[in-house]
Structure 1
Amino acid sequence: MNEAILPERLKRYFVLSLADTPQRRREIYRLRYEIYCREFGYEREADCPGGLERDEYDDRAIHCAIHHRDSGVLAGCIRLIMASEDPEIGQLPLERHCAESLYETPQHPARIPREQICEVSRLGIRYQFRRRRGEGEHPFGSAAGLQLPREQERTFPLLASALFAAEAYLVYEAGKQYSYAMMETRLAELLARQGLVFTPIGRVMRYHGKRAAYYIEREELMSSIRASRLLLPLYEMAEEQLAPQTAQLLRG
């Protein structure tokens, strides 16, 4: 299939939204539990009462979801955390949990005004939307017995990119200058191949698997998206689908 067609196909089969109600956020916490606890074992099930994976940052994060249109199944999620001056939880998660891995550079988050920085985290894609037919069975069964056409399966590799494009839209609308993320190197490489190049700002360490800290500046973020045949349509999809909720959330 022509690469340029895939974003339009993704828009046909999936829809982005902000989880702006307790019920919608609970759906995300449940998916994160399935991924982070049961599938990968990054978090202990005992620390996730009620089968919900969440932490102290969730109440002040903007949560974005992507649903499969026809079935209504939550296919993936991601969140955006704003730094604050709060001495208790003002640090970004990577400052709090991965400080020893960060390089001492001018882009270190501690050296940037708090109102200019944010962190993208807790990316999760439901297993059934990460595997195509014939790639093995999942130990926890299928999502609502989904049997999707191959035409839809071909769009699955763009789900993570669509969520990052949605976060880029939120970052731009929120006026943040620096975006940080703890990512697996293979995800950073995938995004780079699509035109979104994050700069490493720390060494690889074990944190929910092998990950490293990365950052990207606002202007570089936007210029990269505008130059990408894949990411620009996904950004436009996010802008179209998220604008009403974003305006209410960020502008009051």
Structure 2
Amino acid sequence: MSLSKIILNSPIIGDVAKKVASIKVNHDAGNIAEHFTKFLKPQYASTESLRKEVFKIRHNVYCEELAFENQKDNGMEMDEFDPHSIFALIKHKPTNNYTSCVRIVLSSNDDELLPIEKYCYDAIQNKDYDPKNFKRSEIGEISRLAVKADFRRRKSDRFKGSAIGAISETNYSESELRCFPFIAIGLYMIACNLVIEKGVKHAFVMMEPRLARSMKFVGIKFVQIGEPIEYHGLRAPYYINPEIFLENLSSGFKSLFKEIQKDIHAQL
């Protein structure tokens, strides 16, 4: 499956939309980067053990919580695209726990289709952005974005008996809570950075239109290339490339991207 599976009406996307919509893009940019980097660390999944952490998070979210996939005996969610993908996580520094993950599916030949090509190709109506127009080595797809429940509920959103978990006041400080809604934004920034680092010139993603609109508040402007379709909720195909990303990223979040870029580059 090709899309970022955290649906917009789930808490993480609701938190992101509310948080992003409520701030001014250029306000207190330094604090955004400071909060993120103080508590969270981007991690390129360069080893087998780190990739297993990715698959465990995906299983926790897609199989156990959202039931988009059947639960696996080994507690890891994997699919046919993983062998030609790269992965990243975000670690919560104080607890050393991984909060979330994202992958970029790559293609080196015609046999390595992107998920959007295999499952949602007919949704691409603007044929100028057909993946087949580009070199296989220069296309990729951002997908399988997942954020664990413990790291996507603001303090004000907690309620007893929440099926998806809540942040414990005894475990997380108020300053930490303020940066958790930016985890999803951070994942897309990490993904875009890896796209640049790996020489991908044309990136695709299936996402909810409301999430795409929310991302515009921080200057991550995906180009919609087709009408929404019903696919685990309403999804539309989007396109982005390094030029679009770098030109439109708002000054209020450039400092965050630079910190993420520096961290990932050092790991690569």
State the TM bucket, normalised to the shorter chain: 0.7 to 0.9
Distance 1:50 1:138, change over 3 A: farther
* Residue 63 (structure 1) aligns with: 87
The structure 1 residue matched to 2:60, chosen from 34, 52, 64, is 34
Q: Is residue 147 from structure 1 mapped to residue 171 from structure 2 by the alignment?
A: yes
> Matches of 1:9 and 1:76 in 2, distance apart?
17
In the superposition, the TM-score normalised over structure 1's length comes to 0.87
Q: Compute the displacement of 1:52 (Å).
A: 0.9
Q: Flag structure 2 segments of 5+ consecutive residues without an equivalent.
A: 1-22
Q: How many residues align?
A: 240
Secondary structure, counterpart of 2:252 in structure 1: coil
Q: Is residue 128 from structure 1 mapped to residue 150 from structure 2 by the alignment?
A: yes
Q: Compute the displacement of 1:142 (Å).
A: 5.6
Q: Is residue 213 from structure 1 mapped to residue 237 from structure 2 by the alignment?
A: yes
Q: Flag structure 1 segments of 5+ consecutive residues without an equivalent.
A: 247-252
* Residue 229 (structure 1) aligns with: 252
Map 1:50-89 to 2 at 5 A: 50-87=74-111
Q: Compute the displacement of 1:95 (Å).
A: 0.6
Map 1:1-252 to 2 at 5 A: 3-4=28-29, 5-45=31-71, 48-87=72-111, 90-135=112-157, 136=159, 137-139=161-163, 141=165, 147-225=171-249, 227-230=250-253, 232-246=254-268
User: Deviation string for 1:217-240 (max 9, x for gaps)?
Assistant: 321112123x4311x122212222
1:33–1:52 contact (8 Å) kept in structure 2 = yes
2:154–2:167 contact (8 Å) kept in structure 1 = no
Runs of 4+ in 1 over 4 A off after TM superposition: 140-146
> Matches of 1:111 and 1:173 in 2, distance apart?
22
1:127–1:138 contact (8 Å) kept in structure 2 = no
1:73–1:143 contact (8 Å) kept in structure 2 = no
In the superposition, the TM-score normalised over structure 2's length comes to 0.83
User: Deviation string for 1:116-155 (max 9, x for gaps)?
Assistant: 2111111111112111124234436568997211111111
Percent same amino acid among aligned pairs? Answer: 29
> Matches of 1:146 and 1:123 in 2, distance apart?
28
> Matches of 1:195 and 1:243 in 2, distance apart?
22
> Matches of 1:140 and 1:189 in 2, distance apart?
25
* Paired AA for residue 211 in structure 1: R
Distance 1:133 1:142, change over 3 A: closer
Q: Compute the displacement of 1:193 (Å).
A: 1.1
* Paired AA for residue 83 in structure 1: S
2:151–2:167 contact (8 Å) kept in structure 1 = no
Q: Compute the displacement of 1:43 (Å).
A: 1.3
